[in-house]
Amino acid sequence: MKAHLTELLTQAAKSLGVDSASLSIQLERPKSADHGDFATNLAMMLAKPLRQNPRAIAESLIQALPASEYVAKVEIAGAGFINFFLNGQARHGVIAQIREQGDQFGHNSAGQRRKVQVEFVSANPTGPLHVGHGRGAAVGDCLARLLAANGWDVTREFYYNDAGAQIDNLTKSVHARAQGLTPEHPTFPEEGYRGEYIIDIAKAYLAGETVVADDQQVTASGDVNDLESIRRFAVAYLRHEQDLDLQAFQIKFDVFSLESSLYTEGKVESTVQALINSGHTYEQDDALWLKTTDFGDDKDRVMRKREGGYTYFVPDVAYHVEKWKRGFERVINEQGADHHSTITRVRAGLQAIDIGIPPGWPDYVLHQMVTVMRGGEEVKLSKRAGSYVTLRDLIEEVGCDATRYFLAARRADSQLVFDIDLARAQTNDNPVYYIQYAHARICSVLGQWGGDESTLASADLSRLDAPHEAALLQRLDEFTDVVKNAADELAPHMIANYLKELASDLHSYYNAQQFLVEDSALKLARMALISATRQVLKNGLDLLGVSAPEKM
């Protein structure tokens, strides 16, 4: 309908002498139903080029609008807004669309099967996944689902930082535990990991166990003095544990990449050499520097330190070079807000290497921290992890559905308070319960009706003329735009907000009207409406990775 109204306005503007190529027509849903189904500020946008009063332009546009079988009336409001009121045929058409498209309703082909990679979670294999990783998992997976719904060819990727100082600390911590040392012992690594999971790794290592992580199988040697064997086993053990965390969260990845492979396969060295060859590096103070100021950074950055090791952004550049070579037109990195400082450096390195990567590539979605509350107090510790609340803790407390919804339901760049008590509550205050209950409520009514849903295609939808029905029809019609906008803005929380509003419309309708009435034509029309609502609730929940239960 938006496309139809846009075409009407384009034709009207052309009749006033406006170049259609310069038009940018915006159609929005008014906040009040009294202002129609759609409104546009086009008259005000044309006031300057046409040198006329906006209301006068609005009157001319309305007079020039081609006839439409879907528009009941058009009015001018305020300084020159044009409000469109649709007729029943236009409003009811969404039900047929939903019935025809089913699980695909709301999807589009905007991405044209172009390749996009979404990298998310990407935790260091040094411990169980914490709630911050959980937020990244929820947001990243929802982004992947949204992009797929918008026609992109999506690859989900997890990048393991299995090299560097943190892995050294992990190795030392397991080594100390394998020797029987506790964190209180004076020789226990100062920056070591103290959670109970380190004891589990040490016991498994000494027992010579075998662990499998993705494509790797590692068997412990059991030699307490073999630090390399401890390192390989500890990393594999924690990768396996993180795999189990992800399975519990119903997250699947297409590709797992290892930072260590960038070194063993010479990709870091070849990237550094390419940067040197590009002329954007220099030697100073026995270190190798990248001229990141050439690409918008506030100062140049060290690539190779005086003692010989590379700084942390260098393998990131090498990794993204590989992403580009793998043919991803678009890359989106979902990471914690602490990665903000690396964005400019990675992009600068990719521009400096000069292999055709466009400026601003890759995209980033950064999430803020999560505060977990129970009984009005912050929960800070997990016994197993030792210093943080784990993702598994949340899932075991409130379930996968509530965890996923709560972690994705706010803008990623806003801080999030995860209220365990609210997430467990079976009340209307709990948004995920409220939405799922709307779906289950519809299933219950349709079950009581007991009719053949194929007969709903012949329902007389003109009988849907009550205010609550009009509101629900309008909300259903908004879904396609919400899915597109959420993908365009990389904002899955928009789906969560939409579902709360749709559930509210459904519950209000349920409380205001009888569905199983004696008037068979009216009953069939209402069954068609709530059946369509059930489908959209299911489709929206699926974009969040949340189930749509039929009974609650």
pLDDT band at 390 (very low <50, low <70, confident <90, very high): very high
Tell the residue number behind the tokens 């030697």, with chain if given. 283
Domain boundaries along the sequence of the chain: 2-86, 165-251, 428-543
| Res 424 pLDDT > 80 | yes
Strands 81-86 and 71-77: antiparallel
Q: State the pLDDT at residue 187.
A: 94
From the list 340, 338, 339, 357, the residue with the least C-alpha distance to 348 is: 357
pLDDT digits (tens, 9 = 90+) for 46-83: 999 999 999 999 999 999 999 999 999 999 999 999 99
Helix (H, G, I), strand (E, B) or coil at 510: helix
Q: What is the pLDDT of residue 141?
A: 98
Nearest to 296 by CA among 353, 343, 239: 343
180 contact partners, CB below 8 Å, separation of at least 6:
none
Strand ranges in 221-354 using DSSP code E only, listed in sequence order: 255-258, 281-284, 287-290, 301-304, 330-336
Given a cut of 70, whether residue 383 has pLDDT beyond it is: no
Residues 6-29: tens digit of each pLDDT: 999 999 999 999 987 888 899 998
What does the pLDDT read at residue 165?
87
Taking the C-alpha atoms of residue 138 and residue 102, their distance in angstroms, rounded to an integer, is 25
Q: What is the mean pLDDT of the chain?
A: 94
The reported pLDDT for the residue numbered 213 is 86
Nearest CA to 164 among 57, 268, 20?
Answer: 268
| Cβ neighbours of 161 (radius 10 Å) | 18
Q: pLDDT at position 1, please?
A: 85
Annotate 158-221 with DSSP letters as a single string.
EEE--SSHHHHHHHHHHHHHHTT--TTSTTS-TT---SHHHHHHHHHHHTT-EEEETTEEEE--
Which helix (H) or strand (E) segment holds residue 318: the answer is helix 313-325
For residue 294, the model assigns a pLDDT of: 94
- How is 63-103 classified by DSSP, letter by letter? HHPPP-SSEEEEEEETTTEEEEEE-HHHHHHHHHHHHHHGG
Closest CA to 12 of 47, 52, 54, 58: 58
* Least confident residue range of 24-33, 423-432, 543-552: 24-33
**Is this model's pTM higher than 0.85 or not?**
yes
Average pLDDT over residues 283-299: 94
Helix axes 54-64, 2-15, angle to 10 degrees: 110
The CA-atom distances, in angstroms, between 541 and each of 149, 150, 243, 438, 466 are: 13, 16, 24, 12, 27
**Mean pLDDT, residues 241-256 taken together:** 95
Asked if 372 and 418 count as a contact pair (C-beta separation under 8 A), the reply is yes
**What whole-number percentage of the chain has pLDDT above 70?**
99
Look at the domain 428-543 and name its fold. Isoleucyl-tRNA Synthetase; Domain 1 (1.10.730)
Contact 188, 181 (CB under 8 A): yes
State whether CATH 3.30.1360.70 applies to domain 2-86.
yes
